[in-house]
Amino acid sequence: MSRRATSAGVAAPAGTRRGDRPLQVLVVDDSAVVRQTVTTLLGLEGMEASAAADPYIAMEKMTRQRPDVIVLDLELPRMHGLEFLARIMEEDPIPVVVCSALTGEGTDLAMRALEQGALAVVTKPRLAIREFLHESAVVLVDAVRGAAEARVSRRAAHPAISPRLTADAVLPPRPGPPVAATTDRIVAVGASTGGTEALTLLLQAMPPDAPGIVAVLHMPEGFTAAFAARLRGLCRVEVKEAAAGDRVRPGLALIAPGNRHALVRRRADGYEIELSDGPLVSRHRPSVDVLFRSVAQAAGAGAIGVLMTGMGDDGARGLLEMREAGAATLAQDEASCVVFGMPREAIARGAAEEVVALDRIPAAILRRTARPAASSGGRA
């Protein structure tokens, strides 16, 4: 077990303790290099990390010490990571962060892991594992801290999501009329831990003519395209991973690609997506703050900002900028959040015009879509 040596009187970093003890993290990976690298990283952050080479060894260790968080690879010997995850969620739910190589089939496996209850996915490179202790280390540590704060519940075995199919699955529709020259409303959404489920529920409730939506989730590169593709079969609005030059229009939800900042720019005939490879902002790329600031500048009172479940404070400053620019602003309430960190920070800053339960957010958005644009800056 790896333990961080601390000097007397020096506090461990925030989010690394459970009561009067360090967070207990179990790393399950068949690579000795990965196990050593990740346990060392977490130990340096004040956590106590142990490791297991496969799920059977992990289960034996869990009988002696129940971890606060599990960092789980998916490609494991003797038992597949998805099967192990299902057992955890059925028998004794523990927060799980998937750390896996997300290429090819692995991306779909990660999507299935989130559906089965994993809270976050972090990309593990197939090569240069030790170099993982740079920007990706920040993402992994934040994911573990967020998972430790999350509320997880027991799940039925192998849950299935039934797609809402239409005739489009058999015969594609004919192209419609040209998109209107301007978009009356634009909705900017940000989320982190628990955000895949929250955004899924939000988009499933939106009608086909919903205002244009741009969303930032803290997801790894290569994962957002698979997530958007899965949502296309579940939602009445069109969903796609955002690309540079995409127009924001009614009936379309754009998800910022992993590892790229997404910005909204005003053009003569509407709004357009711009992507940036800039540095981490609020410890993330993409950053909700970057999206929200760009929307505040591009749309002002024509926008609606929504900040949902997640750890940390990414999006809180940007949501305040949106409100000060005249946008309507919503924050998810504590009871319906997996982790209340990001909405809590926004509420504390006075950035949220209204605090709303997750299942009421779609109606709150549509209610504001129906009213004329008007400045909300300075409202109590």
Q: Write out the catalytic residue numbers.
A: 192, 218, 314
For the record, the structure tokens of 280 come out as: 């981490």
Q: What angle do CA 123, 129, 130 make, to 5 degrees?
A: 125
